[in-house]
Amino acid sequence: MGRLVALTLLGASLAFIGARLLDLRERINTFREVEPVEPQNCHLIEGIENGSEDIDILPSGLAFISSGLKYPGLPNFAPDEPGKIFLMDLNEQNPRAQVLKISGGFDKELFNPHGISIFIDKDHTVYLYVVNHPHMKSTVEIFKFEEQERSLIHLKTIKHELLVSVNDIVVLGPEQFYATRDHYFTNFFLIFLEIILDLHWSYVLFYSPKEVKVVAEGFASANGITVSSDQKYVYLADVAAKSIHIMEKHDNWDLTQLKVIQLGTFADNLTVDPATGDILAGCHPNAMKLFFYNPEDPPGSEVLRIQHVLSEKPRVSTLYANNGSVLQGSTVASVYQGKILMGTVFHKALYCEL
């Protein structure tokens, strides 16, 4: 009798896992291919070969690019090279990427940069906040940008027990930021379970030296985060749910959800077009190709523009789409005066004129 019960339980478990795996195959867009869309005058950025996961641009047109991310389960073509921050001046005729020197008491060998966010203080000092994964842990590094010297001075490392599996941040005040936790678990096997069971245990955290709290939760995998130009709304990409959440920001930093925009593609990082207020989303069209990398059939890239974000009917259009022949695994797109810069998890970076 005991054996019969055990066999029945085993059979039921296998059937359940099988059904979840079949469901997962659909959820990760296993069979999706993209139709190409390419703006004019595009070229790959020389010198960026190992990722450009996140990009943030100063109002003056200087772009910061985080490069060299090592993330469990995703490819990296230079596993022994530390990560870097590149700078590009988008006012130049042919903008080139240069590596920013880093000084201060900071272990550059362990630099594993992920999401980034610029903060400009009242005295116009520019700070770059960078999500870092030394030894696959999560910290937030604060750097001061020295424009003349083209360098970053490391000022501080922020750690907190709730700053776990951090993907992206958006800084809104001195040491005040929202951060996304993309998975609840940190163990690779448990992350896999979290994905196949479609657990919604990921959240958005508010951090300040005085208070740290979860301000929005229930996401499958909270990834890119940014704010509207007037700083009244927070935009969040739930990458695994293929959606963008529009949330209202309150004086006490709490967030309440206003609406969810379904995309049908895996939105990674989000930026706002300063000229229009539109959201730009760097997306993964097919997550299967991203996680099971095959150079013969690589993951593609897709950049969406979402207009009229706060209206009844936001309009979603495709700015860029490629099957991986040019750009693989796009994560972000950022615009400046008719130019667009697109980044990737582990591949190159593309610059186009719109």
Indicate which residues carry an active-site annotation: 114
**H or E, element range at 65:** strand 62-67
The answer to whether 114 and 153 have CB atoms below 8 angstroms apart is no
Shorter beta-carbon distance to Ca ion: residue 222 or 321: 222
Q: CB of 8: closest distance to Ca ion in angstroms?
A: 43
The answer to whether 187 is annotated as binding is no
The answer to whether 54 is annotated as binding is yes
For tokens 């508010």, name the residue.
Answer: 206
**Exposure string over 245-259, b if 16+ CB within 10 A, otherwise e:** bbbebeeebebeeee
Shorter beta-carbon distance to Ca ion: residue 223 or 265: 223
Q: CB of 354: closest distance to Ca ion in angstroms?
A: 21
Q: CB of 194: closest distance to Ca ion in angstroms?
A: 17
Q: CB of 223: closest distance to Ca ion in angstroms?
A: 5
Q: Tell me how far apart the alpha carbons of residues 80 and 343 are, in angstroms, rounded to a whole number.
A: 21
Shorter beta-carbon distance to Ca ion: residue 112 or 269: 269
Shorter beta-carbon distance to Ca ion: residue 27 or 133: 133
Q: Which of 285, 280, 279 is nearest to 266 (CA)?
A: 285
Q: Tell me how far apart the alpha carbons of residues 168 and 294 are, in angstroms, rounded to a whole number.
A: 27
For tokens 């980034």, name the residue.
Answer: 116
Q: Tell me how far apart the alpha carbons of residues 236 and 224 are, in angstroms, rounded to a whole number.
A: 6
Shorter beta-carbon distance to Ca ion: residue 106 or 119: 119
The answer to whether 268 is annotated as binding is yes
Q: Tell me how far apart the alpha carbons of residues 282 and 266 are, in angstroms, rounded to a whole number.
A: 8
Pairing verdict, β 350-353 and 315-322: unpaired
Shorter beta-carbon distance to Ca ion: residue 38 or 134: 134
Site residues (vs Ca ion, CB under 5 A): 54, 115, 167-168, 223, 268-269
The answer to whether 116 is annotated as binding is yes
Please tell me the number of Cα atoms within 13 Å of 93 on its side-chain side. 0
3-state secondary structure of 240: coil
**H or E, element range at 196:** helix 188-196
Q: CB of 103: closest distance to Ca ion in angstroms?
A: 23
The answer to whether 66 and 130 have CB atoms below 8 angstroms apart is yes
The answer to whether 167 is annotated as binding is yes
The answer to whether 182 is annotated as binding is no
Tokens standing for 84?
């870097």
3-state helix, strand, coil in the chain (%, to 5): 15, 45, 45
Q: Describe the strand order of the beta sheet including 166-173 as a list of residue ranges.
A: 166-173, 176-181, 202-207, 212-219
The answer to whether 259 and 266 have CB atoms below 8 angstroms apart is no
Binding site feature residues for Ca(2+): 53-54, 116, 167-168, 223, 268-269
